[in-house]
Structure 1
Amino acid sequence: MANNFVDHKDRWLLIANGEFEYPILFIKSWLPFNAWYCNNYPHHKNKDRPILEDMKLDNNLFITRIIALLQNDDEDAIIFQTNLVKLHNNLESFKVPNATENISFKSLNYRINPKTSFLKTYRNHNYKVEIVTPISPNFYKIRIDILNASNRNIFLYNHTKYDKLHLIADSSFISLSQANKDIILGGFDAINPKLKESLIVTKKSESLPTITQILFKNDSQLLAQAIIEILYNIRCILFHGEIQPSKDNLKIYEPAFYMLKQLIKSLD
């Protein structure tokens, strides 16, 4: 995202001068959290993103506390759950950092897509789209095959990066029928390593039983990972000046601060 700090400098100066309380409190709360995770994951050399990816999957104090607060019904859990609902509602109401690239529990890339292959049979043809081997966090060996009824390969695509523009510009892909293209592109989207997922469900039977106001997915582990990702995302748009500093937009930092404050207490 582009850095809008210069465009919003007058409003950010108001924040620096203490006109907005909760963004400042959120920043102050993030600092000890930052110190804790850098100290606990020294092999990542203070790099936030790889640390947080490990933290999401590790049995550490921070994520286990989130899970406990999501699952329990004591006073601390109710406070945390209330602020989580408020954070979700504020994110949906104010669309930060902007309407087209907003942070939301409804569409969030918070984990590597567990789906690495797509198979389909259509009109005696077999289609396979797969990530063969992850090469690095941002580079993947992609293979796509179309086999006819005789099991002969009529289309083969290999690339060392997940890149849709590269696929659709491939001359062999261009020569395919529209039906074949649509199936391949559907499979390609399905295995997207950075697929955005929703943590909001439509059926109460599939929702987290401890929270009734919003139907969060009944998976505390995944929801905890998503909460870490959301907190980090709103930290980044604040630290980098990417959020337009309006009174409404900055309301997201009130529940975020209280959630982070509760979680930090578990790190003592």
Structure 2
Amino acid sequence: MQKFKIYRDSIDIDYYVYFTKAYFAFNAYLKAKHPTLTDLDKIREMKNDITVSRKFKSLVEDGKHFRDDLIALKENLNSTVIKNNNEIITFDRVKIGDHNVVEIFNESYNGVAYFIKAIDNDLFTFKVKDTQPNPFKIEQLEETLNSISITTTQKSKVRALITEHVENYNINLSNEIEILRNFNDLTNTEKAKLCENLYKGFIEILYKLRNGLFHSEVEPNSDVMKVYKFTYFILRKILHEIPTP
């Protein structure tokens, strides 16, 4: 009976292993296409890879199972906790564009001087009168605002300007998945835009899931395994469509 238990416990598929093998193939493609770039820059380039994005679009259009896998990935990821760099990975806010260094606002409003800027490493900084907190990420915006002594009106102004800026390159991919459920009812233009957003969002989530697993931030359990299972299903289908560089 001991042998039976050992064999029985070993029959389940380890999707962490399958995900890892698939990501190695994906990474080999990235290295072949962009040998001199950093990992992060390769991901940026991949989001704009026309060949692969078209293959992704074809998979969405032609394969109900592929659409079902995307829906299942969203449902499982949003119902568990997986972190990358101590931040929860979620479909609710996904970066599909670039966080560029840019001055967001530098003028007076209601007689108060404001300076707000997006800086390197996905960080923001701002100054209201003489008050200036340490640089922070968008996920830390509320914590940062609550930690400083400026008026409620001033906090609202800073919040609105930074949030508006972030919305230019972030998307709620959960909303896009809900649209995907009725894919066949969309116009061709709507389908094309949806597929573009889903593709760029998936590439971003894929990279974060890779980081969480490879950097030992993942707490393995059956719910987390399901996330890597559906990510593997999606990535595997994409890889089989990608031409050799």
Residue 82 of structure 2 is matched in structure 1 by 96
Measure how far apart 1:40 and its partner are. Answer: 0.9
Residue 130 of structure 1 is matched in structure 2 by none
CA distance in 2, matches of 1:156, 1:169: 7
- Aligned mate of 1:67, from 45, 57, 61: 57
Residue 39 of structure 2 is matched in structure 1 by 48
Identity %: 22
Residue 246 of structure 1 is matched in structure 2 by 221
Measure how far apart 1:183 and its partner are. Answer: 2.0
- Aligned mate of 2:162, from 184, 188, 200: 188
Residues 41-95 of structure 1, C-alpha deviations (whole Å, 9 max, x = no match):
2341xx22111111112312x222112222x1x3xx1121111111111112222
What SS does structure 2 have at the residue aligned with 1:248?
helix
Normalised TM-score (structure 2):
0.70
Q: Give the partner amino acid of 2:119.
A: K
Count residues in correspondence.
212
Q: Is the 8 A contact 1:86 1:255 kept in 2?
A: yes
Q: Is the 8 A contact 2:91 2:173 kept in 1?
A: yes
What SS does structure 1 have at the residue aligned with 2:183?
coil
What SS does structure 1 have at the residue aligned with 2:83?
coil
Give the superposed CA RMSD: 3.7
Q: Give the partner amino acid of 2:161.
A: G
Normalised TM-score (structure 1):
0.65
Measure how far apart 1:201 and its partner are. Answer: 2.8
Higher helix share: 2
Residue 80 of structure 1 is matched in structure 2 by 66
Residue 161 of structure 1 is matched in structure 2 by 119
What SS does structure 2 have at the residue aligned with 1:221?
helix
Change (3 A) 1:211 1:146: farther
Q: Is the 8 A contact 2:118 2:124 kept in 1?
A: no
**Larger RCO of the pair (alpha carbons < 8 Å, separation 6+):** 2
The unaligned stretches of length 5 or more in structure 2 are: 1-9, 134-147, 186-190
Q: Are residues 1:143 and 2:130 paired?
A: no
Q: Are residues 1:105 and 2:67 paired?
A: no
The unaligned stretches of length 5 or more in structure 1 are: 1-16, 114-136
- Aligned mate of 1:28, from 17, 21, 27: 21
Q: Is the 8 A contact 1:81 1:211 kept in 2?
A: no
